[in-house]
Amino acid sequence: MNERSEAGAGREKIFNLPREVTALLAALAAIQFALGALPAASVAEIFSTLAFVPGRISVVLAPDAFMRAIGEHLGPGIEASDVAVALGAERLPWWTFATYALLHANWTHLAVNGVTLAAFGSPLARRFGPARFLAFMALTAAAGAATHFAVHPFDLGPVVGASAAISGTMAASARFAFTQDSESGASHSSRRAASLSELWSNRRALAFVGLWFAVNLIFGLFPGAAGATEQIAWEAHVGGFTAGLLLFGAFDRRREGGRDRVR
């Protein structure tokens, strides 16, 4: 009995995800399951409430510019206030900058994001801790939505998926995955993080960042290459990735010399 217990304790778990990552994946799966079980009208209402639609933002913030951009596609006598009501944007739907990341187009979309989140989110969650990790995910999701809005301010197509936030975890991981500590086998949570200037002088880190941008540009211009039937919001990915690189230092907490430091 003792020998078996000791052997079992020495084995690596196949699925050794941090609890916050497991909880997040479970929540996303539960939402997707509910979307598949609910009536179509209820699903449409959920997407209308939680999905990010750039036009719903601009019709509130800049109604005149919004009407100039899409007015020719509307019937005569239609006012911006009428469009706002039709879009469910009588007030600014600010929450959609984050809530859109909770929705996915289908199970395949969720599966791809889930695997990537498990791979890149786990080391980051161990390094940040639960509260910081979830706040980081929310902020990078918002940065992705804001970037997409900046490029397509009057678009009425809904944006859904956690890809922008996950892109942020990929960028943040690059801040410590390619340091000299990684070659010595140090754990993710104890590795020294590279500054942005150090990151740009690290060939492996630069190769990772360059490959990431190249892949996202290809998939954005040619969504069929990724197996997608609809346009990929690659601008949101870029926004989340950039935010992940820049915000990492504000969230990082690495134990050194018996003290927690925020970098």
Looking up tokens 């859109």 gives 100
Verify that 128 and 142 share a domain, yes or no.
yes
30: in domain: yes
Give yes or no: residues 156 and 194 share one domain.
yes
How many angstroms separate the CA atoms of 155 and 103, rounded? 18
Torsion of CA 244, 123, 232, 106, to 10 degrees: -140
Q: Are strands 253-256 and 259-262 parallel, antiparallel or unpaired?
A: antiparallel
Asked if residue 107 and residue 60 are part of one domain, the reply reads no
Which of 211, 194, 181 has the alpha carbon at shortest distance from 248? Answer: 194
Cα 229 from Cα 83, distance rounded (Å): 28
Whether residue 247 is contained in a domain is answered as yes
Domain match, 83 and 123 both: no
- Residue 143, exposed/middle/buried by CB under 10 A (0-12, 13-18, 19+)? buried
Are 100 and 225 in the same domain? yes
Phi, psi of 76 (to 5 degrees): -65, 145
Q: Is 159 helix (H, G, I), strand (E, B) or coil?
A: strand
- Which domain covers residue 192, as residue numbers? 19-41+94-262
Q: Count of domains in the chain?
A: 2
What is this structure's pTM? Answer: 0.83
11 falls within a domain: no
Same domain for 115 and 86: no
The answer as to whether 214 is a domain residue is yes
Residue 116, domain member (yes or no): yes
pLDDT at 261: 41
Would 233 be classed as within a structural domain? yes
Residue written as tokens 């944007």?
A: 89
234/142 same-domain check:
yes
207 occurs within a structural domain: yes
DSSP assignment of 34-90? HHHHS-HHHHHHHHHHHSB-HHHHHHHH-HHHHHHHHGGGS-TT--HHHHHHHTT-S
Residue 28, both tokens: 């996303």
Please tell me whether residues 104 and 217 are part of one structural domain: yes
- Mark whether 98 and 82 lie in a shared domain: no
Asked whether residue 174 is domain-assigned, the answer is yes
pLDDT of residue 5: 39
CATH number at residue 217: 1.20.1540.10
The first and second tokens of residue 46, run together, are: 């959920």
Q: What residues form DSSP beta bridges with 253?
A: 262
Q: Are 239 and 152 in contact (CB under 8 A)?
A: no
What is the pLDDT tens value at each position of the chain, 263 positions in all?
A: 444 434 444 444 445 899 999 999 999 999 999 999 999 999 999 998 999 999 999 988 888 888 888 876 666 667 666 677 777 777 889 999 999 999 999 999 999 999 999 999 999 999 999 999 999 999 999 999 999 999 999 998 999 999 999 999 999 999 998 876 555 455 555 678 888 888 888 899 999 999 999 988 887 777 655 555 567 889 999 999 999 999 999 999 764 433 444 33
Among 158, 159, 245, 142, CA closest to 202: 245
